[in-house]
């Protein structure tokens, strides 16, 4: 299910999820997905959003370390958000899916 892990983007995800105001950019190819992982701590509410450049529909999903879907945002546009409060400390994986041409996106808080 998880296509690949882009190490450079982990920092972007950590920054976005940590609440720092600057958004970090990413890229997902046409009809592809990108996967990012990060450790989150039990009991800490987290909200992560992505905003695409408007060229295509993008979706965002988050999975726990066992591959269980925690939350998904699958609207028809270029802005999606997921939120969760981990029951345990562990690694969570975010999947950005692109249903159109290649698109730039940014992690936003």
How much is the pLDDT for 11?
A: 38
Over residues 5-64, the pLDDT tens digits come to 333 343 344 444 444 334 578 888 889 999 999 999 999 999 999 999 888 899 999 999
Structure tokens at 67: 């591959």
In which domain, by residue range, is 57 found? 7-108
Distances 30 to 26, 57, 99 between C-alpha atoms, Å: 13, 10, 7
The CATH number of residue 84's host domain is 2.60.120.380
Residue 1, domain member (yes or no): no
Residue 65, domain member (yes or no): yes
> What is the number of structural domains in the chain?
1
pTM of this prediction?
0.78
Average pLDDT over residues 88-108: 90
Residue reference for tokens 């066992």: 66
Over residues 74-91, the pLDDT tens digits come to 999 999 999 999 999 999
Q: Tell me the torsion sign for CA atoms 3, 86, 21, 38.
A: negative
Length of the chain: 109
Residue 2, domain member (yes or no): no
Structure tokens at 71: 């939350």
Residue 96, domain member (yes or no): yes
């Amino acid at each position: 299910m998880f296509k690949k892990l882009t190490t450079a983007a982990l920092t972007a995800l950590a920054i976005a999820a940590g609440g720092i105001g600057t958004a970090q950019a990413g890229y997902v190819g046409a009809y592809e997905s990108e996967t990012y992982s990060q450790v989150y701590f039990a009991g800490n509410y987290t909200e992560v959003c992505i905003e695409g450049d408007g060229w295509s529909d993008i979706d965002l999903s988050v999975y726990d370390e066992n591959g269980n879907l925690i939350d998904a945002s699958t609207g028809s546009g270029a802005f999606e958000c997921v939120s969760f409060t981990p029951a345990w400390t562990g690694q969570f994986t975010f999947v950005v899916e692109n249903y159109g041409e290649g698109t730039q996106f940014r992690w936003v808080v």
